[in-house]
Amino acid sequence: MTGELHRTILLRGTTQTFIYELKLRTLRKMDFERPLDALNAARNKRVLVELKNKHQVLGQLKAFDIHINVVLDDSEERDENGQTIKKLGQVFIRGDMIVFVSPAT
């Protein structure tokens, strides 16, 4: 379908082709082909990390690796009810302790 749409716009003129190409590049940047792409999109944003012990850590995602080890800044630990237990600051969380990582709401 992308090829058909591209050919149709090419027939109409170069300005529309250029706009289409820009939109297509933007959409490709938003596609998550690999699981780590989703984490990369969340870099420098607040995320909620749930751990195997049912605790949650909320903080700004600064770094991660292929093992899903993560570094969070300005983080705080929460219990299973979402109540803040304590402020942690910068933390490293080992990937094998993580159940999920989600954008904070």
Are the C-beta atoms of residues 68 and 42 closer than 8 Å to each other?
A: no
Asked if 53 and 93 sit in the same domain, the reply is yes
Asked if 52 and 21 sit in the same domain, the reply is no
Asked if 71 and 25 sit in the same domain, the reply is no
Asked if 45 and 88 sit in the same domain, the reply is yes
Tell me which residues of the chain have a pLDDT lower than 50.
Answer: 1-20, 22-27
Name the pTM for this structure: 0.67
Asked if 43 and 70 sit in the same domain, the reply is yes
Asked if 41 and 55 sit in the same domain, the reply is yes
Write a three-state SS string for 21-76: HHHHHHHHHHCCCCHHHHHHHCCCCEEEEEECCCCEEEEEEEEECCCCCEEEEEEE
Asked if 72 and 97 sit in the same domain, the reply is yes
- Predicted pLDDT at 31: 61
Number of domains in the chain: 2
Residues 8 and 45: their CA atoms lie apart, in Å, by 39
Domain of 58 in residue numbering reads as 36-103
